[in-house]
Structure 1
Amino acid sequence: MERSMFLELALAAMDELVKLAQTDEPLWLRSLEGGREVLNHEEYMRSFTPCIGLKPNGFVTEASRETGMVIINSLALVETLMESNRWLEMFPCLVARTSTTDVISSGMGGTRNGALQLMHAELQVLSPLVPVREVNFLRFCKQHAEGVWAVVDVSVDTIRDTSGAPTFMNCRRLPSGCVVQDMPNGYSKVTWVEHAEYDESQVHHLYRPMLSSGMGFGAQRWVATLQRQCECLAILMSSSVPSRDHTAITASGRRSMLKLAQRMTDNFCAGVCASTVHKWNKLNARNVDEDVRVMTRESLDDPGEPPGIVLSAATSVWLPVSPQRLFDFLRDERLRSEWDILSNGGPMQEMAHIAKGQDPGNCVSLLRARAMNANQSSMLILQETCIDAAGGLVVYAPVDIPAMHVVMNGGDSAYVALLPSGFAIVPDGPGSRGPMTVKGGGHGSSNGGGGEDATHRVSGSLLTMTFQILVNSLPSAKLTVESVETVNNLISCTVQKIKAALHCES
């Protein structure tokens, strides 16, 4: 009975997705900066019958659509979406954790056409101020024509509940997904639709405009991530090496270094949002700033981490600086001494560079900090940076010099112990919260002259920073008040240094 209901829901969701992907105005509107498309909810209610029931009390709706060209063919993208591990690897900053809980149909004729599976996922925006979205959903794949496929997701919580009164998580997915059409030269045209209802009361006020506009979990972010990741794969599979790359690294060394960087970035993301990837324990410490979240966990029997008690501290702040400017500042090894205590007060030197995209900001680097005195060896820092239309990421970790020599010669990176820290940068969304300024040189609407002066709010970025540090090498040790104070001070001092360097102390 349940499986027949799943199939009926999947077919209805697929029909809705295709219509949402193919219909323009008045169903979709462009009232936003950057030309992003958002759903006209009044028109939507007239055109569609809700396939998973009415919106829960207290929930709000977000819906967006984005179309882009991606260097991947339709079959490869469909296969990526239908395999939970490959989906996770393609969208590491969006998907914290996922699993396939039931395969209802594997498809027809040895293809994914008609494949239907039940999945569980934790979706994230990289900030401690935005709760992880936990969703149970059907994923259904259908071929619509030669070289044209569609993959749709839809929540199933209302079907699976047997107690009588439906219960909801903090989010549910209305028909969402993508329509993919093959194009020449290995490209695809991807039209992505994201439609969700969620409990806004759990979201910090800093992030509400961004989420409601679809910039957090919306279609633009999925397409931008897909484009960047596919471009990276195409470059890494290419036989030619970009000119800036250091040719001293062998092909196997490049692969090993990239694998280590991927693990570092994955662990960074897992430490920002408190997903269930790691068993974090949240601390309610009195000596910690209100918007700083501190968590601890034990690191045991993992060769990729130092053993002991790991402390993670994360916070998000608003800055009146564009995401691109903020990203360029934080990734520049020459300016690192302006905010990073690991720099030993001076510029760092780039020892190795592996390009991951056409944008120079998409790369993995190995940096060297100068020694503080003649008896101290210089420190190495592994860093991964990436940027796209949806935001940027700067992730780094101190690494052992002998271990990195092994990695750069193609050795196994699984035994390199590291704890990542770093930054996630996103646009702040419409209705930004900056101070009022005046265009035209006057003093706002009080001038009484009826001239061209106009007040507007400064736009900017939402910056999340996270530090993971080993506070005790004994897993059984107790956490001290001093350790918590140290990491809280590190967070607040870094914020102040960044604000001072970018002249936005106010």
Structure 2
Amino acid sequence: MEAELHVLSPLVPGRRVRFLRFCKQHAEGVWAVADISLDLFRDTSSEGFTFSNCRRFPSGCILQNMPTGCCKVTWMEHSEYDESLVPDLYRSFLRSGLGFGAHRWVSTLQRQCQFFSMPSEDPSGIGLSGRRNMLKLAQRMVDDFCSGISTSMGGDWEMLPVGNIGQDIKVMSRRSILNNPNETPAILLSASTSVWMPVSHQLLFNFLRDQRERNEWDILSRGEPMQETLHIAKGQSCENCVSLLRTDVSNLLTLHLLQLTQHSS
């Protein structure tokens, strides 16, 4: 198997790993999934596989059925990487495991399980088909956003040399994919960077997802207050959802704007 691992920042190098995966049932209701990197056994540089800033040692997870009907997950990640390639801003973050470690995989698995456990009833009023299409559109939007920040090594983005900007700003461009109904013919431009904010991450997250505060920072709102017209929950927490926002409909002189947003904690 082959995978690319990224942190949502242009400052942190991505990781590409090739590995073997082995799954085995150890006992009744107990499964083990183990990964081991192929880079430990052979020199891949001769194969054109030169992305070697990380080696993944034996890692994986143990899944155990519990009497409550839940599943206990024990995740282990063991890797070696060149920390000199990581900016000081992100070194403690990667050491904590939140970037590429077990904490990240467990939290992602928790969000996905919460989404699957949501009731099949549709309180949004747009029907199950409309709900499914809105979630697909939101996921495609998130995928495009992530690809413009953390570029895949096999992607179509091209780095652009731009003068008079710092090395912590990445500017890229690519052409839209031909015969792709989800994209119009155009040249796409992406500029991204990472900054440190002197506030807690929860406080900043709550500020950005608050529709009442959106006109304070979102230039697309043109300073107009936003209203939530559709809310689709993606988990038990209200912080995981897809929302459809629009400008204040009470102002008849304003061209109304619709925005689709997704929040994930």
Query: Do both share a fold (TM > 0.5)?
Result: yes
Determine if the alignment matches structure 1 residue 145 to structure 2 residue 145.
no
Q: Give the structure 1 partner of residue 262 of structure 2.
A: 384
Work out which of the residue numbers 286, 298, 303 in structure 1 matches 2:181. Answer: 303
**Secondary structure at 2:19's aligned position in 1?**
strand
**Residue ranges of structure 2 left out of the alignment (5+ in a row):** none
What CA distance in whole angstroms lies between the structure 2 residues aligned with 1:320 and 1:176? 35
Distance 1:159 1:180, change over 3 A: same
Aligned-residue offset at 1:187? 1.5
Determine if the alignment matches structure 1 residue 190 to structure 2 residue 73.
yes
Determine if the alignment matches structure 1 residue 255 to structure 2 residue 132.
yes
User: In proportion to residue count, which structure has more helix?
Assistant: 1
The code of the aligned residue for 1:240 comes to: E
Work out which of the residue numbers 55, 72, 76 in structure 2 matches 1:172. Answer: 55
What CA distance in whole angstroms lies between the structure 2 residues aligned with 1:228 and 1:123? 18
Q: Give the structure 1 partner of residue 89 of structure 2.
A: 206
What CA distance in whole angstroms lies between the structure 2 residues aligned with 1:311 and 1:383? 21
Work out which of the residue numbers 288, 308, 327 in structure 1 matches 2:205. Answer: 327
Determine if the alignment matches structure 1 residue 157 to structure 2 residue 39.
yes
Contact 1:175/1:195 (8 A) holds in 2: yes
**Secondary structure at 1:121's aligned position in 2?**
strand
**Secondary structure at 1:291's aligned position in 2?**
coil
Contact 2:40/2:55 (8 A) holds in 1: no
Contact 1:132/1:273 (8 A) holds in 2: yes
Aligned-residue offset at 1:307? 2.0
Distance 1:333 1:162, change over 3 A: closer
Distance 1:163 1:287, change over 3 A: closer
Distance 1:168 1:370, change over 3 A: closer
**Residue ranges of structure 1 left out of the alignment (5+ in a row):** 1-118, 388-506
Work out which of the residue numbers 116, 120, 124 in structure 2 matches 1:239. Answer: 120
What CA distance in whole angstroms lies between the structure 2 residues aligned with 1:377 and 1:163? 56
What CA distance in whole angstroms lies between the structure 2 residues aligned with 1:374 and 1:347? 13
What TM-score results when the alignment is normalised by the length of structure 1?
A: 0.49
Q: How many residue pairs end up in the alignment?
A: 262
Aligned-residue offset at 1:212? 1.8
Q: Which whole-Å deviations, capped at 9, do the CAs of 1:405-459 have from their partners, x for residues lacking one?
A: xxxxxxxxxxxxxxxxxxxxxxxxxxxxxxxxxxxxxxxxxxxxxxxxxxxxxxx
Structure showing greater Rg:
1
**Secondary structure at 1:319's aligned position in 2?**
coil
Work out which of the residue numbers 156, 163, 171 in structure 2 matches 1:279. Answer: 156
Q: Give the structure 2 partner of residue 294 of structure 1.
A: 171
Distance 1:137 1:262, change over 3 A: same
Q: Which whole-Å deviations, capped at 9, do the CAs of 1:316-363 have from their partners, x for residues lacking one?
A: 111121111111000111101111111110211111000011111100
What CA distance in whole angstroms lies between the structure 2 residues aligned with 1:287 and 1:374? 43
What CA distance in whole angstroms lies between the structure 2 residues aligned with 1:378 and 1:163? 55
The code of the aligned residue for 1:205 comes to: D
Instruction: Identify the structure with bigger relative contact order (alpha carbons < 8 Å, sequence gap 6+).
Output: 1
Q: Which whole-Å deviations, capped at 9, do the CAs of 1:171-225 have from their partners, x for residues lacking one?
A: 1111111001011354210000011001112211110111122221111111111
Distance 1:148 1:332, change over 3 A: same
Q: Which whole-Å deviations, capped at 9, do the CAs of 1:283-310 have from their partners, x for residues lacking one?
A: 1201334321111000132221232111
The code of the aligned residue for 1:206 comes to: L
What CA distance in whole angstroms lies between the structure 2 residues aligned with 1:292 and 1:334? 30
The code of the aligned residue for 1:282 comes to: M
Distance 1:277 1:187, change over 3 A: farther
Determine if the alignment matches structure 1 residue 360 to structure 2 residue 238.
yes
What CA distance in whole angstroms lies between the structure 2 residues aligned with 1:297 and 1:319? 30
Contact 1:344/1:369 (8 A) holds in 2: no
Aligned-residue offset at 1:233? 1.3
Identity %: 60
**Secondary structure at 2:117's aligned position in 1?**
helix
